[in-house]
Amino acid sequence: MAPERERWAAWLLPLLVAAGPLASDEIDPLTRIDGLEARLEGLNRRVQALETLLRESGPLASAAPTVKGEPTWELDDYSRTSPFQVLQRSLDRQSGRLDLLLDVVAPIPDLADWNSAARGEAVPLMLIADTADGAAAAPVPLQLERATRLEPGARLHLSARLEPGIAERVRRIQIFHAPDRESAERP
């Protein structure tokens, strides 16, 4: 008997014995455990398939905009997959405010750069907004709006301000890691 199965049996058998004797038409406890293990394996496979599907076809999987008039968002691996995963992004074209909500999914490799940022200060992520006329604005640092901690499982709210005139014409927004913000170059 597998160790996991033995643990289940050790846990379930006393409960089943306390419930009383088995009727002749009830299922044997070990058979019931086998059935539960099979169902659990099936559910695990379904969850993995759904996670893969979401990862491959999620809102950030393609560069094409999903809503007419929305800019195309291009995120580098650092800001899109590890150590972060984008939960939500938005651009208010009238005010020029850009918001990005990140989930910390792995330890941040340049944690010192992030720890030094207080609310309203720049973090090591930059954005470039390309407009409809093909002109690219200068890189703009993202600022920390809210973060309770910087470990896996935490959420970070970042923002930036674009000039409203530029925000109205933005067609593509590039977000990229720039640990040395003073010399950040276009990716």
Q: Are residues 86 and 176 in the same domain?
A: yes
Tokens representing 182 are 């003073």
CB-based burial of residue 156 (10 Å sphere; 0-12 exposed, 13-18 middle, 19+ buried)?
Answer: buried
- Tally the C-alpha atoms within 13 A of residue 134's C-alpha that lie toward its C-beta: 0
At 102-114, the pLDDT tens digits run 888 899 888 888 8
Q: Are residues 178 and 142 in the same domain?
A: yes
Question: Considering only 23-27, 49-53, 87-91, which range has the smallest mean pLDDT?
Answer: 23-27
Q: Are residues 47 and 80 in the same domain?
A: no
Question: Considering the domain boundaries, does residue 104 fall inside one?
Answer: yes
Q: Which residue has the tokens 């809503």?
A: 67
Most confident of the following: 52-56, 78-82, 137-141, 156-160: 156-160
Q: Which domain holds residue 49?
A: 3-18+27-57
Q: Under a CB-based contact definition with an 8 Å cutoff, are residues 124 and 179 in contact? A: yes
Question: Considering the domain boundaries, does residue 64 fall inside one?
Answer: no
- pLDDT (average), residues 62-72: 60
At 118-142, the pLDDT tens digits run 888 999 999 999 887 777 678 999 9
Q: Under a CB-based contact definition with an 8 Å cutoff, are residues 86 and 80 in contact? A: yes
Q: Are residues 78 and 168 in the same domain?
A: yes
Question: Considering the domain boundaries, does residue 62 fall inside one?
Answer: no
* Mean pLDDT score across all residues of the chain: 78
Q: Are residues 93 and 179 in the same domain?
A: yes
Q: Are residues 168 and 86 in the same domain?
A: yes
Q: Are residues 92 and 173 in the same domain?
A: yes
At 24-44, the pLDDT tens digits run 567 788 888 888 888 888 878
Q: Which of 91, 67, 72 is nearest to 158 (CA)?
A: 91
The domain tally of the chain equals 2
Strand pairing report for 97-104 and 84-91: antiparallel
Q: Are residues 91 and 35 in the same domain?
A: no
Q: Are residues 82 and 159 in the same domain?
A: yes
Region label for 134, one of left (φ > 0), alpha (ψ between -120 and 50) or beta (otherwise):
left
pLDDT of residue 66: 46
Q: Are residues 164 and 78 in the same domain?
A: yes
Question: Considering the domain boundaries, does residue 14 fall inside one?
Answer: yes
Q: Are residues 152 and 88 in the same domain?
A: yes
Q: Under a CB-based contact definition with an 8 Å cutoff, are residues 137 and 154 in contact? A: no
- pLDDT (average), residues 61-85: 73
With b meaning 16 or more CB within 10 Å and e meaning fewer, what string describes 159-174?
bbebeeebbebbebbb
Q: Are residues 91 and 136 in the same domain?
A: yes
Describe the chain by its helix, strand, coil percentages, rounded to 5: 35, 30, 35
Predicted TM-score of the model (pTM): 0.59
Banded pLDDT at 158 (limits 50, 70, 90): very high
**CA distances (Å), origin 167, targets 46, 87, 94:** 41, 21, 7
